[in-house]
Structure 1
Amino acid sequence: MHPLSRKQLVGAISTSLLALASANKSNNDFDVLDYVDPLIGTSNGGHVFPGATLPYGMAKAVADTKGENQAGFAYDTSVVTGFSHMHDDGTGGSPSMGNFPIFPQPSCPEDDINKCQWQQDDRETAWIPKSPKARPGFFSIDLANGVHAEMTTTNRSALYRFTFGDSDTALSPVVLVDIMDLPQLRSNGSAAVDPETGRLTGNGTFAPSFGQGTYDMHFCVDFKGARLRDTGVWSQNRAGFEPKSVKIEPSGTISASTNSAGSFARFYEPDDGKSIMARVGVSFIGVDQACANAEREQPDYDFEGTVETAEDAWREKLNVFSVDAEGVSKELQEVFWSGAYRTMISPQDYTGENPLWESDEPYYDSFYW
């Protein structure tokens, strides 16, 4: 199913609609989510978003790959450069959003912070073929560095669970955040870390993937699952424990991709010997609102509970459809339900997140029709 192009997907959906649009048929054993494959259309230029999101959700978490990565992840790629929390779906053209990717490393070689990999090109890591798993509200992938990454979302926050496999070196995980976006159109930005809690915060000014003007975005990352060892910031390919903040301004001589920076937190071995969770809040308004979004929407870092809530939200939306699939292949049913699912990824609910419109009225953005 995965290699279907967007054109093939549209044609298949049209066929499936003719085959499936019929009288209601109840089936107590039927779970619509078993027939949704978010990975359809993630290769051959499909540009679809396969990661974790709610229906019309603002936060969209997925692994970002190198290649034709307009929506973050593409199946016909080989390396992951980060995990980011804002994406568009099916836009074509230039990559879009992918702001503030985080990236875990099981440890730094020789326990030297400057021997970890910082910039995008240096830290890129191969992903294991056939490892990506996607389901409405959930995405996971295995990396060659031994990291198993899982992610889920609420409306304005993402929750990641990084599980570290066996390693020849002592486990002392480092998680960085990069003041970057997929199209590498950041003009300026800043990042900081709280040395007491390991909270990573910051912001950036970005150009859109097409159109005019700029927009500001803010992030807030908190961790659970391991005792904090040390913190700091990094710039280009160097890191240090002091100071605790870094700022980037536009440069006429250095590109955004080679003038990147961010902050990091390093931990002792996870409490369970395996996993660390990273909770990321995002906002177009400010850092405080990014933190508040995450704290309000998932105060308990409940990964399974967040996945379950997301799945329930998708079932509620998709169960308005009822079809008689007697005599219809499972593959054709998957195309139909995956197409129905895809119609509810965008537009995105930015209510309360438009800095130019102070209103509680519903506000949706990222229309691409």
Structure 2
Amino acid sequence: MLTVLGMAKAVADSNNDNQGGFATDSSGITGFSHMHDSGTGGASSLGNFPLFANPGCPGDDINQCVYRFQNRSVSFSNQTLVAQPGYFSIDLATGIKGEATVTNHTALYRFTFPKDATTAPMVFADLIDLPQSRTNGTASVDPDSGRISGSGTFSPSFGIGSYDLHFCADFSGADIYDTGVFVNDRAGNEPKTVHTLNDGVNDNESLSAGAFVRFKAGTSSVIARVGLSFISVDQACSNAEREIAKFDFDSTKKAAQDVWRKKLSVISIDSTGVSADVQKVFWSGAYRAMLSPQDYTGENPLWNSTEPYYDSYYCIWDSYRSIHQLLTIVDPVSQSLMIRSLIDIYRHEGYLPDCRMSLCKGYTQGGSNADVLIAEAYLKNVTDIDWKTAYEAVVKDAEVQPANWAVEGRGGLTSWKSLGYIPTDDFDPYGQGLLTRSVSRTVEYAYNDYCIASLAKALGHSNDYHKYIKRATNWQNMFDANTTSLGYTGFLQIKYANGTWGYQDPQLCTPLLGFPDCYLNPGGHETYEGSLWLYTFYVPQDMASLVTTLGGRDKFVDRLTYFHNSGLLYVGDEQAFLTVYLFHYAGRPGLSAKQAHTYIPSQFNTSVSGIPGNDDSGAMGSFSTLSMMGLWPIHGQDVYLINPPFFKEVNVTHGVTGNVATIRNVNFDPTYESIYIQNVTRNGKTWTKNWIEHDFFEKGGVLEITTGGAESSWGTAAEDLPPSLASYTF
């Protein structure tokens, strides 16, 4: 069965800005590779064993061709670019048209050569990956069939360890002229196998190697089929032979696009009056949010299991805020398989991951945020989960510190349990990790424990519920009522183990001050990818207390408005998402709608820079799509904040029940001036709460939202605000 979450994700690789393979503002193409992670930050990922096609070597001399990655880049025309779900095409300056489509474990390419070429066209496979991390590699070519196969050992782009990957490339549609291998920019017809190894002298910068096939002069096109496997070359070949038996490019493309149409068809919109650009933002966001995590079931060499195995959780710190919430709505079956995969990783690795890619453990950026996804899955009735083991896993995160908490679990648990916060000068001889991010880890640990408490309550573990709900209030232990910034008083602040306060400028790590400095590094600041301004707002479990702590409703709204309008906030990082909608908790849902319409389309649009920051496997896409649907999910909770959709109507078909949930904007204004909710009905009955639960998607029904040009009293009363540990006092 073909799925959109499969391993193979084929595209041309550009020579810079290539985390996901291709970028329109790059200057050249270095090959077509078969696996990618979408929109990641930091180093590039995957892109192993690229195929490079050329119309022929000058004078038909194989030593006159250019093989090395650093030298072979070919320019292209964006005017010829076609990028669709399930299909990619680009014309190169060499006169070659490259097209790509996929099945689950196999990439299929069609290379069309110039009609007037008089030399033997060539396709070669390079033992390289996008981050140039290869340590060992082998490629062989069969002189009779032209099959190129091989293996390599590579490093993940944001984690520890290494992984082995295998490929099997077959060609159809042309007669073979000759075959051979190359090393750097020299090639020969013998031998038929080339090896690279980690010799301490050469690396990918100084040693390029692979195998080639040349086809007879006059060849018009070649179909290249590349099977992939983490298990073996034999399995890579069998994957390809099983999934694409006939080398039929057009039917394979059609099958891939049919799968995407079916996947996206669970959402429909009434786009009357809406510009094509706005629609592109909506649909491209939904598409990108469905690319990862990727289904590697049957391709995990690390352990034997009958459970699904998903990879490219890149990273849960990014995806737990919106990607999995969108998947739970539009594809609950896949979300169930992903949760089961996380639990099975716990069974065999000992901890839930907070990031994972290419069979490797990825770096933990904050809390143990798989806890959030598991609790939310239970609350939203995601089925077929082993809840006993799931609960065991989240409790271990909260109670048992791993030896290396840089890649799993939590650090500083002794201080967390005894002091109720992570001290900036934490003494932690019980495990290893970056002794930074004390503030951001504290607020994330507090929310992780809140989610564990919610799951404990649902499963009947009353003692655990009381323990973890108490820990959920630990954010208060790092709130300093005396810290000031830009005319506002009271912020989270760094704190030492003896209870005294330190100082970090609340503006630090904002676009206004030291913005690039707060990423994963050993000498970093005490907040991660964000400021004290930002993290002070992160109390989704107890917003009523936070509103009170920050001076009450009016002062909270004033501060939050300033935060958005002053340049302090960068919406291209995932922690920013929730702040767009926090006005709901202060009884001003209209301001949430206003803020969402400010960022869409000013930051989210169809320009080259229209995805702010890294897409992080679709995080930015899920933000824009969920925002435009009109129901913003609070991660880890059964809560959706109600906002007017960006369309006259949005319909979502539940993937299990088949019921249709309709969000209808009764007085829809395509100029987006009348965006303030006046009243709401659910299935014809008055609905005053400014939030709704997941059963709306499961049961289906109609949520009718009437909008106007000014804020109203709808959703403003204390009893209509979203759940909070404390009661609202206004």
Same fold (TM over 0.5): yes
Match of 1:338 in 2: 284
Q: What RMSD, in angstroms, separates the aligned Cα atoms of the two structures?
A: 1.3
Q: What does the per-residue CA deviation read over 1:40-67, in whole Å, with 9 as the maximum and x for residues that have no partner? A: xxxxxxxxxxxxx951121010000111
Q: Does 1:231 align with 2:179?
A: yes
Q: Does 1:128 align with 2:74?
A: no
In structure 2, what is the Cα distance between the partners aligned to 1:198 and 1:107?
Answer: 17
Shift of 1:129: 3.3
Amino acid at match of 1:137: G
In structure 1, what is the Cα distance between the partners aligned to 2:76 and 2:268?
Answer: 38
Match of 1:308 in 2: 254
In structure 1, what is the Cα distance between the partners aligned to 2:122 and 2:58?
Answer: 11
8 Å CA contact 2:59, 2:119 repeated in 1: no
Match of 1:113 in 2: 62
Q: Does 1:93 align with 2:72?
A: no
Residues 175-254 of structure 1: matches in 2 within 5 Å?
Answer: 175-254=123-202
Match of 1:141 in 2: 90
Q: Does 1:288 align with 2:268?
A: no
Shift of 1:322: 2.3
Amino acid at match of 1:107: G
Shift of 1:312: 1.0
In structure 2, what is the Cα distance between the partners aligned to 1:357 and 1:306?
Answer: 32
In structure 1, what is the Cα distance between the partners aligned to 2:66 and 2:258?
Answer: 39
Aligned-pair identity in percent equals: 57
8 Å CA contact 1:54, 1:137 repeated in 2: no
Match of 1:277 in 2: 223
- SS of the residue corresponding to residue 120 of structure 1 reads coil
121-130 vs 174-183, greater mean Cα deviation: 121-130
Residues 157-172 of structure 1: matches in 2 within 5 Å?
Answer: 157-167=106-116, 169-172=117-120
In structure 2, what is the Cα distance between the partners aligned to 1:344 and 1:357?
Answer: 26
Shift of 1:176: 0.5
Q: Does 1:150 align with 2:96?
A: no
Shift of 1:165: 1.5
In structure 2, relative to structure 1, the CA distance for the partners of 1:54 and 1:150 (3 Å cut) is farther
Match of 1:351 in 2: 297
In structure 1, what is the Cα distance between the partners aligned to 2:284 and 2:306?
Answer: 32
In structure 2, what is the Cα distance between the partners aligned to 1:233 and 1:105?
Answer: 15
In structure 2, what is the Cα distance between the partners aligned to 1:190 and 1:72?
Answer: 23
Match of 2:311 in 1: 365
8 Å CA contact 1:226, 1:269 repeated in 2: no
Residues 39-50 of structure 1: matches in 2 within 5 Å?
Answer: none
In structure 2, what is the Cα distance between the partners aligned to 1:322 and 1:139?
Answer: 24
8 Å CA contact 2:8, 2:103 repeated in 1: yes
8 Å CA contact 2:180, 2:212 repeated in 1: yes
Match of 2:627 in 1: none
Q: What does the per-residue CA deviation read over 1:301-335, in whole Å, with 9 as the maximum and x for residues that have no partner? A: 11111111111111111111122222222221121
- Structure 2, unaligned runs of 5 or more: 320-730
Amino acid at match of 2:165: M
Match of 1:326 in 2: 272
8 Å CA contact 1:352, 1:358 repeated in 2: no
- SS of the residue corresponding to residue 292 of structure 1 reads helix
In structure 1, what is the Cα distance between the partners aligned to 2:56 and 2:102?
Answer: 27
Q: Quick check: which has more Rg, 1 or 2?
A: 2
245-254 vs 141-150, greater mean Cα deviation: 245-254
In structure 2, what is the Cα distance between the partners aligned to 1:324 and 1:231?
Answer: 55
Shift of 1:166: 3.6
Shift of 1:360: 4.1
Match of 1:25 in 2: none
Amino acid at match of 1:357: W
Amino acid at match of 2:69: Q
Richer in strand (by share): 1
- SS of the residue corresponding to residue 342 of structure 1 reads helix
Shift of 1:263: 0.5
Shift of 1:123: 1.6
8 Å CA contact 1:119, 1:258 repeated in 2: no
8 Å CA contact 2:60, 2:119 repeated in 1: no
In structure 1, what is the Cα distance between the partners aligned to 2:101 and 2:230?
Answer: 20
8 Å CA contact 2:120, 2:217 repeated in 1: yes
Amino acid at match of 1:144: A
Q: What does the per-residue CA deviation read over 1:20-77, in whole Å, with 9 as the maximum and x for residues that have no partner? A: xxxxxxxxxxxxxxxxxxxxxxxxxxxxxxxxx9511210100001111111101111
Q: Does 1:59 align with 2:8?
A: yes
> Aligned residue pairs: how many?
314
Q: What does the per-residue CA deviation read over 1:280-312, in whole Å, with 9 as the maximum and x for residues that have no partner? A: 001000000000000000000111111111111
Q: What does the per-residue CA deviation read over 1:97-139, in whole Å, with 9 as the maximum and x for residues that have no partner? A: 0000010111110110111111112221111232211111000
Shift of 1:255: 2.6
Amino acid at match of 1:337: W
Match of 2:121 in 1: 173
8 Å CA contact 2:37, 2:46 repeated in 1: yes
Shift of 1:361: 2.7
Q: Does 1:84 align with 2:30?
A: no
8 Å CA contact 2:58, 2:119 repeated in 1: no
Q: What does the per-residue CA deviation read over 1:176-214, in whole Å, with 9 as the maximum and x for residues that have no partner? A: 000000000000110001111000000000011121100
Match of 2:18 in 1: 69
8 Å CA contact 1:133, 1:139 repeated in 2: yes
In structure 1, what is the Cα distance between the partners aligned to 2:258 and 2:279?
Answer: 20
- SS of the residue corresponding to residue 81 of structure 1 reads strand
- What TM-score, normalized to structure 1? 0.83
- SS of the residue corresponding to residue 58 of structure 1 reads coil
Q: What does the per-residue CA deviation read over 1:218-251, in whole Å, with 9 as the maximum and x for residues that have no partner? A: 0000000111111111111110011110100113
Structure ranking higher on relative contact order (CA contacts 8 Å, 6+ apart): 1
320-329 vs 205-214, greater mean Cα deviation: 320-329
In structure 2, what is the Cα distance between the partners aligned to 1:154 and 1:171?
Answer: 32
Runs ≥4 residues deviating over 3 A = none
In structure 2, relative to structure 1, the CA distance for the partners of 1:330 and 1:128 (3 Å cut) is closer
Residues 15-26 of structure 1: matches in 2 within 5 Å?
Answer: none
In structure 2, what is the Cα distance between the partners aligned to 1:265 and 1:54?
Answer: 31
